[in-house]
Amino acid sequence: MLLLDYGQDLSYIFKCLSKLHNLRKLRIEIFNRCGYWYPNRPNPLNDLGKVIGANLNLTHFELFLNGRIRVSCSAIFGHVPASSPLKLEHLSISDSFSDVQAIIPHIRFLTSISFYAYYDQILAVLRSERIFPPTIQVSIIRNNLLDYLRDHPRIVGLFVNNPYEEVAGTMILGIMAQHSESLKYFGTTSSGFSCSLRPVQNELLLQQCTKLNHLILVPWPYQEYCRLLSDTDAMPPEIVSE
Instruction: State yes or no: pLDDT of 13 exceeds 70.
Output: yes
211 versus 116: which is more confidently predicted?
211
Same domain? 127 vs 230? yes
Query: Is 98 in the same domain as 119?
Result: no
DSSP 179: T
Q: What is the pLDDT of residues 63-105, one digit of tens each?
A: 888 766 778 889 899 999 999 999 999 999 877 777 889 999 9
Phi, then psi, of 75 in degrees rounded to 5: -70, -45
Averaged pLDDT score across all residues of the chain: 86
Q: Does 130 lie in the same domain as 89?
A: no
Same domain as 169, residue 67: no
Same domain, yes or no: 158 and 98: no
Looking at the structure, do residues 241 and 146 belong to the same domain, yes or no? yes
Among 110, 143, 177, residue at a domain's last position: 110
Please state, for a pLDDT cut of 90, what percent of the chain lies above it: 62
Last residue of a domain, one of 82, 110, 138: 110
pLDDT tens digits along 23-40: 999 999 887 766 555 566
For 215, the domain range is: 115-242
Same domain, 102 and 145: no
Gap between the Cα atoms of 69 and 76, Å rounded: 14
- What does residue 217 show for φ and ψ, rounded to 5 degrees? -120, 125
Count the Cβ atoms, other than its own, within 10 Å of residue 205.
Answer: 21
Based on the fold, state whether residues 3 and 106 are members of the same structural domain: yes
Give yes or no for residue 46 having a pLDDT over 70. yes
Q: How far apart are CA 127 and CA 85, in angstroms?
A: 20
- Structure confidence at residue 237 (pLDDT): 45
**Cβ-contact 71, 91 below 8 angstroms:** no
Q: How many CA atoms lie within 13 A of 62 on its CB side?
A: 21
Contact criterion met (CB below 8 Å) for 168 and 219? no
Domain boundary among 110, 131, 166: 110
Q: Residues 6 or more apart from 240 whose CB is under 8 A from it?
A: 89, 90, 111, 112, 135, 232
pLDDT one-digit tens code per residue, 47-69? 999 999 999 999 999 988 876 67
Structural domain count, the chain = 2
Choose the weakest-confidence range: 23-32, 106-115, 144-153, 227-236.
227-236
Instruction: Let me know whether 150 and 201 are in one domain.
Output: yes
CA distance 18 to 121: 28
Answer whether residue 227 shows pLDDT above 60. Answer: no
How far is the C-alpha of 15 from the C-alpha of 50, rounded, in Å? 7
